[in-house]
Amino acid sequence: MVDKLAIFGGSPVISEPFKPYPSIGKKEEEAVVRVVRSGELSAFFGSDGPQFLGGREILAFEAEWCERFRVKHTISVNSATSGLFAAVGAVGAGPGDEIIVPPTTMSATAMAPLVYGATPVFADIEDDTFCLDVESVIQKITDKTKAIIAVNLFGHPANLSQLRKIADERSIFLIEDNAQGPLASENGVFAGTIGHIGVFSLNYHKHIHTGEGGMCVTNDPELALRLQLIRNHGENIVESRNLKNLKNIIGFNYRMTELSAAVGRVQLADIDSHVNKRINIAQKLSKKLCNLTGITTPMVRDQCNHVYYVWALKYDEKAVGPSRKRFSDALTAEGFPNTTGYIRPLYMLPIFREKIAMAKDGLPFTNSEGSYHAGSCPVAERLWEKEFLYFEPCAYDLTENNVDALCDAFIKVYSNRHLL
């Protein structure tokens, strides 16, 4: 009786929805009040002078970020999307250039090349880490390749040192989309700092946040300056600085406010606690659920630290029995919040299917075109269509008991799978 599945009218293992993660507290409140009382909600000016680089909170936040991530330069921006756009601009990409990206990621990763008139070329992902497959990347490199954007998907680092080596050998750039991977690492080096430029997100859903926001990091002073120029009306600055390379220095307003920076400083000071909470949840789920036939819990590559923005498992319908959808519905009925699929491979979006990105028909795809047909990245498609089943540790405030209940709910559904 106790074991009757909730989907058949039994009582659910988890009867109350989990509370959202309480990311903002007293210290953030004090920081905001401090800035509001100062009256200076932003101190940026879009012209040469000290305020070209922003105000007190921005400068402090960037310096603290450099120290925490052991990197020379940090350029705050108003979102990771802006950060990715700025990164593609900074490396000098333009029409005719190709940029290799994975298809399984938030869409901004693949839009960044397009805003500069370059074309994204999709390489497939690995079946176990879900990050760019190095062999597939090598196959996609051509004379036109300008950069690779590796995504540290779900909080697991891509093969970053290998990709960096490939990039350096060919004099192209490695940009890391590290929106999901703060404190992830490879061989003890932080994800985000292995590529030429790394981009972090501080949007509300990420491990730490400022509502909206992003951070670009680099160890290269020239790239740092180019990122600063793109962030803040660079066209006004180049003469006074006697800068010769004007390419892609059209400046935007990607500036972060003093308010966001003040909140970000508090979040950064507590980053270990915010990230470790999510890691603990995911590790516990993995430990209890790793021995179920047909269920593959997240893999962590040797010498890597995974920070679990998403805890994603692979569901093998043939081995388990019921369809993924049916299994997922039964989990949901038990109160286990889960989702199937993750993001549809991006080349299936209308922008790629119809090759309409700009007001001039066909551009930039007429310069060069990635492979945008169904079947071009078979691993990404299979994972999306058939296998991904995932949970978002960042979304909820979970006690040890809650995590136990998640495991119990999963095992209850799994044990009764023959009934589904």
Interacting residues toward ligand PLP by CB under 6 A: 79-81, 105-106, 108-109, 151, 177, 179-180, 201, 203, 214
Question: Whole-number minimum distance, CB 342 to ligand PLP, in Å?
Answer: 11
Among candidates 412, 173, 131, 399, which has minimal Cα distance to 284? 399
Question: Whole-number minimum distance, CB 310 to ligand PLP, in Å?
Answer: 9
Q: Is the peptide bond before 364 cis (omega within 30 degrees of 0)?
A: yes
- The answer to whether the CB of 155 falls within 8 A of the CB of 309 is yes
* CB-nearer residue toward ligand PLP: 210 or 340: 210
Instruction: Give the DSSP letter string of 339-393.
Output: EES-SPPGGGSHHHHTT--SSSTTTTTTT-----STTSSHHHHHIIIIIEEEE-G
Question: Whole-number minimum distance, CB 80 to ligand PLP, in Å?
Answer: 3
* CB-nearer residue toward ligand PLP: 10 or 341: 341
* CB-nearer residue toward ligand PLP: 93 or 106: 106
* CB-nearer residue toward ligand PLP: 182 or 214: 214
Angle at 55 between CA 266 and CA 238, to 5 degrees: 130
* CB-nearer residue toward ligand PLP: 177 or 258: 177
Question: Whole-number minimum distance, CB 110 to ligand PLP, in Å?
Answer: 10
Give the ranges where 70-133 is alpha helix by DSSP (H). 80-90, 108-115
Question: Whole-number minimum distance, CB 344 to ligand PLP, in Å?
Answer: 14
- 91 burial via Cβ count (<10 Å: 0-12, 13-18, 19+): buried
Question: Whole-number minimum distance, CB 180 to ligand PLP, in Å?
Answer: 5
Instruction: Quote the tokens at residue 102.
Output: 């994975």
* CB-nearer residue toward ligand PLP: 178 or 228: 178
* CB-nearer residue toward ligand PLP: 93 or 202: 202
Instruction: Give the DSSP letter string of 208-260.
Output: S--SS-EEEEES-HHHHHHHHHHHBTGGGTHHHHT----TT----B-PPPHHH
- The answer to whether the CB of 230 falls within 8 A of the CB of 254 is yes
149 Cβ contact partners less than 8 Å away, ≥ 6 residues apart: 84, 88, 99, 100, 101, 102, 109, 112, 113, 175, 176, 177
Angle at 244 between CA 241 and CA 246, to 5 degrees: 100
Collapsing DSSP to helix, strand or coil, 296 comes out as strand
Q: How far is CA 259 from CA 144, 157, 221, in A?
A: 41, 30, 27
Question: Whole-number minimum distance, CB 181 to ligand PLP, in Å?
Answer: 9
Question: Whole-number minimum distance, CB 48 to ligand PLP, in Å?
Answer: 28
Question: Whole-number minimum distance, CB 268 to ligand PLP, in Å?
Answer: 16
Instruction: State whether the Cα torsion 327-330-331-336 is positive or negative.
Output: positive
* CB-nearer residue toward ligand PLP: 119 or 180: 180
E strand or H helix at 32: helix 26-38
State residue 101 phi and psi, 5-degree precision: -135, 155
Question: Whole-number minimum distance, CB 365 to ligand PLP, in Å?
Answer: 22
* CB-nearer residue toward ligand PLP: 42 or 180: 180
* CB-nearer residue toward ligand PLP: 93 or 153: 153
Number of Cβ within 10 Å of residue 118's Cβ equals 25
Phi-psi region of 197 (alpha: psi -120 to 50; beta: other; left: phi over 0): beta
